[in-house]
A and B are shown apart, each in its own frame.
Chain A
């Protein structure tokens, strides 16, 4: 196991419902400012549930709390929203679609 991860972004129930309250609401911010990790990966890096970590891609970095998720080892998930947007580049490979899923990412405790 290493500290290189693959990042995917996507919808969550909290994100989908939080956006109705306004994207500047606390509910939406809480719903989108987090990273899900595999529990074994968390243990390997000595990261506790709720601990703030730095997630970095070639495009940018964010500091968000960790939430244990049902992900395979090596995978990270961040809900679509402001935190994810910082990490995603604009290279669309002539399709119009940015790389919202499958980004190389690093995680380190803050």
Chain B
């Protein structure tokens, strides 16, 4: 073997931390400190490995490159001067960094919120109201014979979910894979995922709650006079109820079609209640399709540190919970934050414009491995390491299973933990 060839390192079982699937079978080839080839990764996750430039970059203040000490001092000064600072994001960083973000919020008396508030925040509200009949993706793979996907499109947003966890894998009690399962998709429009389904129920936009309420009524034996409910023939709903009642192990996966539509948390509560009631007849569980790689971890960390999963304020010295009050879109739209620290997320790219614009008017600090639109308007930017690529850490899969992220590249940049620890030391508020 030539010296050149021996320099190529093949690393197996790498975890992709792009989405909540946390696929842990990725193969990465590294040559001379650069990722040269990535196998098994999906089209969404590939860019995490191929588009991330791990070269160390200096932080910036007002667009000017500065030493790390100067950037930390500037960030600390911004936070010290603020009366009502906000910490937001957390979902694309490791659990260890999320803990530091909560510690900083606690010390500052800040509001802290995660990207859950614009994805599965309503799901958290439903869990608190109803409970969470859950299971792991391993149980889904090995046991589930009925899969219900409601208001989600995994073929686009969680590309390997069908193949690795839910629809096609061969498991202990599902030896024939796809042929051992019935797949039902509920959506307002045909999608790539509905094409993979045995049954597609097309609901009218905004009618999810009444369709779910009808399914609950049918399960309890009620007779429905209407021929259609929410655009779906009642006979089709009756058929679905029979399939759900008589399956061996059913799993409902749900997404933004429920959380972002009219009714929001009430839609999700209705689905979770239906799933709980189905357990009188069959084993049935529900798993939210979590988007960002460690957004589930953000919920976990914030809950174990403060008691609440998102939208928390430490302003009174103890944690208070307030969706609608301490959630970031509301806080920014009302102009209630006078400084912001954005950790591993890009609200300027994904928030309603009126909320996003507020980040241009208040001093903003960004920690992110990637260039983001939020970094473009921020006063202080820390280009940190990317967990799972050039830093080690922990992330929670969509089913709440923690997975260790191993670096494939040698560490060259400070991590979010490193920077947050320095900021926590430097701020004087709370000392």
Q: Within 8 Å CB of A9, what residues of B?
A: 260
- A109 proximal to B (CB < 8 A): no
- A60 proximal to B (CB < 8 A): yes
Bound Cα distance from A35 to B132, whole angstroms: 36
User: Is B352 a contact partner of A81 (Cβ separation < 8 A)?
Assistant: no
Q: Within 8 Å CB of A80, what residues of B?
A: 350
- B205 proximal to A (CB < 8 A): yes
List 10 additional A-B contacts (Cβ < 8 Å) besides A20-B50, A96-B113: A9-B260, A10-B153, A13-B43, A17-B46, A20-B48, A69-B189, A92-B324, A95-B122, A98-B352, A102-B205
Closest CB in chain A relative to B270 CB, distance in Å:
15
Bound Cα distance from A80 to B351, whole angstroms: 9
Q: Tell me whether A81 and B349 are in contact in the complex, defined as CB-CB below 8 angstroms, given that A11-B157, A90-B354, A95-B125 are known contacts.
A: yes
User: Is A16 a contact partner of B43 (Cβ separation < 8 A)?
Assistant: yes
- A8 proximal to B (CB < 8 A): yes
Bound Cα distance from A17 to B121, whole angstroms: 25
- A39 proximal to B (CB < 8 A): no
Q: Within 8 Å CB of A77, what residues of B?
A: 189
User: Is B262 a contact partner of A94 (Cβ separation < 8 A)?
Assistant: no
Q: Tell me whether A98 and B329 are in contact in the complex, defined as CB-CB below 8 angstroms, given that A75-B188, A93-B324 are known contacts.
A: yes
Residue contacts A-B, CB under 8 angstroms, 9 given: A16-B43, A22-B371, A23-B349, A72-B202, A75-B189, A81-B350, A102-B206, A102-B260, A102-B261
User: Is A101 a contact partner of B256 (Cβ separation < 8 A)?
Assistant: yes
- A59 proximal to B (CB < 8 A): yes
Q: Within 8 Å CB of A101, what residues of B?
A: 205, 256-257, 260-261
Bound Cα distance from A105 to B51, whole angstroms: 36
Among A70, A88, A98, A99, which residue has the most Cβ atoms of chain B within 10 A? Answer: A98
Among A20, A71, A94, which residue has the most Cβ atoms of chain B within 10 A? Answer: A20
Q: Tell me whether A85 and B327 are in contact in the complex, defined as CB-CB below 8 angstroms, given that A20-B48, A70-B189, A96-B311 are known contacts.
A: no
User: Is B189 a contact partner of A92 (Cβ separation < 8 A)?
Assistant: no
Q: Tell me whether A97 and B190 are in contact in the complex, defined as CB-CB below 8 angstroms, given that A11-B156, A81-B349, A86-B353 are known contacts.
A: no
